[in-house]
Amino acid sequence: MPELPEVETIRRGLEDVLVGREFLGAEVLWGKSLVCEGVDVDDLRGCEVLAVERRGKFLVMRFSSGFVVTVHLRMSGRLIAEEDGGELPFERVRMRFSGGLNLKFCDMRKFGRVWVSSAEEYEKLTGIWKLGPEPLLGDVGAEVFEGKRGAVKKVLLDQTVLAGVGNIYADEACFYAGVRPDARMEKLSRGQLEKLFEGVVVALKQGIRNRGTSISDFEDAFGGKGKNQELLYVYGRGGKECLKCGGVLERGKVAGRTTVWCEVCQGEVQGKLEF
DNA sequence: CCCCTATCCTGAGGGC
DNA sequence: TGCCCTCAGGATAGGG
Which nucleotide's C1' is closest to A236 (Cα)?
Answer: C9
Q: Is the distance from CB of A204 to CB of A231 less than 8 angstroms?
A: no
Classify residue A138 as exposed, middle or buried by CB count within 10 Å of its CB (0-12, 13-18, 19+).
exposed
Question: What Å distances lie between residue A142 and A35, A38, A194, A254, CA to CA?
Answer: 36, 39, 5, 21
Q: Summarize pLDDT for A24-39 with one digit per residue, the tens.
A: 999 999 999 999 999 9
Radius of gyration of chain A (CA): 20
Q: How many helices and strands, by DSSP H and E, does chain A display?
A: 5, 11
Q: Which of A12, A209, A225, A257 is catalytic?
A: A257
Residue A268 has pLDDT above 70, yes or no: no
Structure confidence at residue A215 (pLDDT): 82
Q: Tell me the pLDDT tens digit for each residue of A122-143.
A: 999 999 999 999 999 999 999 9
DSSP symbol at A148: -
* pLDDT score, position A2: 92
Q: What is the pTM of this model?
A: 0.95
Instruction: Determine the distance between A184 (CA) and B5 (C1') in angstroms.
Output: 22
- pLDDT > 70: percent of chain A: 96
Give the pLDDT confidence score for residue A33 in this predicted structure: 96
Segment A53-72 shows an average pLDDT of 97
Give the pLDDT of residue A25.
Answer: 97
For the stretch A221-239, pLDDT in tens is 999 999 999 999 999 999 9
E strand or H helix at A185: none
| Rounded (to 5) percent helix, strand, coil in chain A | 30, 25, 45
Please tell me the predicted confidence (pLDDT) of residue A218.
83
Told to judge if A37 belongs to the known catalytic residues of this protein, a careful annotator would answer no
- Averaged pLDDT for residues A239-251: 93
For the cut 80, the answer to whether the pLDDT of residue A269 exceeds it is no
The answer to whether residue A181 is catalytic is no
Alpha-carbon gap, residue A37 to A215, rounded angstroms:
34
Q: Which domains does chain A have, with CATH numbers?
A: 4-130 (3.20.190.10), 142-261 (1.10.8.50)
Active-site residue (options: A11, A54, A57, A195): A57
**Rounded percentage of chain A residues whose pLDDT exceeds 90:** 93
Q: How confident is the model at residue A271 (pLDDT cuts 50, 70, 90)?
A: very low
Per-residue pLDDT of A145-175, as tens digits, reads: 999 999 999 999 999 999 999 999 999 999 9
Q: Which helix (H) or strand (E) holds A257?
A: strand A257-261
